[in-house]
Amino acid sequence: MTFKRIAFTIASAMAFVAMVSAAPLVQKPEKRATTNTAASYVINTSALPGLDSGLTALPQWSGLMPVGGSNTLFFWYVQAANASSDNLIFWHNGGPGCSSMEGLFQENGPYHTEDGGQTWQMNPYSWHNYGHVVYIDQPFGTGFSTDNTPVPNEDVVGTTMLNFYESFFAAFPGMQSKNMYIAGESYAGRYIPYMAKYVQSYNTANPSNQYNLKAIAMGDAYVDTSVNNDFVYYVPYLAQNPWIYGNSESWLTKAQSYASKAVSTSDCVSAESEPAISSACQNLENEFMNSMPAPSNPPLDSSCTDPYGNPIYFDPYKTDVTDCNFAQMDLLYAQSPWEYYLNLAAVQAQIHINPPVSYSDCNNLSGGIYTSDPSTVPKYFIGSLIDAGLKVTLYTGLLDTVVPHTLTEAAINYMTWGGTQGFTSSTFTPSTMTPISNGTAQTGSYHAERGLTYVIVNNAGHMVPRDDPFTASWIIQNLLTQ
């Protein structure tokens, strides 16, 4: 459940759906005294309420990790089912400002609930079956993390995570030699490439103290500018899903006309950052958003409304949802099970948060990155990460309207790596890709070329590990074995 608080870009796209080079890299983070040890983070799982025996037997650690000055990032570390595993996965949800506890409790973590968070059972598709997994609330102010420093750009995210890795490996010294992977979804498509870039820069400057980063994976990832994500490359997705705009041929013709104008407008499709988008292009997007009529498709059900009484037409995070309560939770109109659970004083005391602390899944934060992110968008440098030896996976759920697959595919077509622009042998259709099967049915398809893997998941929306845990498990296993 990410992408909930992107006021500067997705607000326009979500309103529409409802109606229908970075600064020079630092070479090494500043040293500081780190007194925290693994023992200080141990969770007494037997004291956590409502856990089944599998979860209480699973070694886990959590708490506030120092990352410089008085700033801290909250983390929750789950030991691999095979304690000697050489794989270490760092997971990030997006937002920006959405807690990665969402991943832990709803997506690929070991926690699963059927009763709104009263009790928790072991998730058989948990990624800890494949390696140690660390869930991190970042940037500052997200989830349980402290909010002492503004985050004006992605370079701050990159340097902060270098500090996090330094502190984490100091507390857990046996982990630095592990094969390291960074994964996440949605706005993590902005975070993760910067994290990887800073790790690569750090490794170049510190050959005797490397971080063993092997690969990154980003699901339904926000790797482009707002105009391309919300407008230009959104229209092809609408053409494939005419029910979203009420099946009006004249509506689609008008939308395609706006997109055509945008392609020929300066900096509409080639702007490298949000500030580089021309006023003419921005005005065109605004005109498009403001001129399109309301949809004619019916609400989810006659009683399904937002807090203001407006009908909810569909769940943009997963378009086949028919349950109003589920859609309301996706849209943050209802409390999530993990919000309920993590606000319990008995839970906070065991995860090394001094209760009472008000926990929110997606915080409405202030600070530069939350009003306008000026950083170069990742599609312009992901290719250079691959050329430097990093494996990259991009995956997308076909039922996602927040970051539709057409946006990811347009970014891949724009990227250059290995001396070639885009894929040379795929048109992003099942017939040109390799199928993924669960043994009885095809659940998705993928194409891998020159260090980049692209995966389409047929029956998933914005949160692939939640919607199709089998194919999400295939994705992480494929990432770990490249």
**Statement to judge: residues 43 and 159 lie in one domain:** yes
Element (H, E) at 477: helix 469-480
**Statement to judge: residues 235 and 215 lie in one domain:** no
**Statement to judge: residues 433 and 455 lie in one domain:** yes
**Statement to judge: residues 413 and 462 lie in one domain:** yes
**Statement to judge: residues 245 and 310 lie in one domain:** yes
One DSSP character per residue, 247-315 reads S-HHHHHHHHHHHHHHHTSTTTTT-SSSTTS-HHHHHHHHHHHHHSPPP-SPPSSTT-B-TTS-B----
**Statement to judge: residues 248 and 323 lie in one domain:** yes
Q: How far is CA 77 from CA 80, 134, 168, 370, in A?
A: 9, 4, 10, 27
**Statement to judge: residues 323 and 377 lie in one domain:** no
The verdict on residue 345 lying in a domain is no
CA distance 383 to 379: 8
CA distance 210 to 190: 23
What was the pLDDT predicted at 295? 62
Q: What is the pTM of this model?
A: 0.93
Q: Where does a domain end: 284, 318, 335?
A: 335
**Statement to judge: residues 402 and 266 lie in one domain:** no
Q: How far is CA 304 from CA 148, 323, 326, 413, in A?
A: 39, 9, 11, 39
The verdict on residue 119 lying in a domain is yes
The structure tokens 């994976």 sit at: 217
**Statement to judge: residues 216 and 244 lie in one domain:** no
What was the pLDDT predicted at 298? 77
Q: Where does a domain end: 286, 313, 335?
A: 335
What was the pLDDT predicted at 368? 61
- Which CATH number belongs to the domain containing residue 476 in this structure? 3.40.50.1820
Q: Where does a domain end: 316, 335, 354?
A: 335
The verdict on residue 7 lying in a domain is no
**Statement to judge: residues 302 and 396 lie in one domain:** no
> How many domains are contained in the chain?
2
What was the pLDDT predicted at 466? 98
| Tens place of pLDDT per residue across the chain (482 aa) | 444 433 333 344 444 444 443 333 444 445 454 568 999 999 999 999 999 999 999 999 999 999 988 899 999 999 999 999 999 999 999 999 999 999 999 999 999 999 999 999 999 999 999 999 999 999 998 999 987 778 889 999 999 999 999 999 999 999 999 999 999 999 999 999 999 999 999 999 999 999 999 999 999 999 999 889 888 999 999 999 988 888 888 889 999 999 999 988 878 889 999 999 999 998 988 888 887 766 667 788 889 999 999 899 899 999 999 999 999 999 999 999 999 999 999 999 999 999 899 999 998 665 666 677 899 999 999 999 999 999 999 999 999 999 999 999 999 999 999 999 999 988 898 889 999 999 999 999 999 999 999 999 999 999 999 999 999 999 999 999 98
The verdict on residue 11 lying in a domain is no
What was the pLDDT predicted at 367? 61
- The amino acid occupying position 357 is V
Element (H, E) at 452: strand 452-457
One DSSP character per residue, 101-126 reads HHIIIIISSSEE-SSTTSSBEE-TT-
**Statement to judge: residues 182 and 50 lie in one domain:** yes
**Statement to judge: residues 387 and 474 lie in one domain:** yes
The verdict on residue 360 lying in a domain is no
The verdict on residue 277 lying in a domain is yes
Cα angle at 313 between 319 and 223, to 5 degrees? Answer: 50
Cβ contact 370:138 at 8 Å: no
The verdict on residue 399 lying in a domain is yes
The verdict on residue 240 lying in a domain is yes
**Domain containing 473: what range?**
23-225+373-480
- The amino acid occupying position 402 is V
Element (H, E) at 442: strand 442-449
Which pLDDT tens digit goes with each residue over 276-321? 999 999 898 888 888 776 666 778 888 999 999 989 989 999 999 9
Which pLDDT tens digit goes with each residue over 263-280? 888 788 899 999 999 999
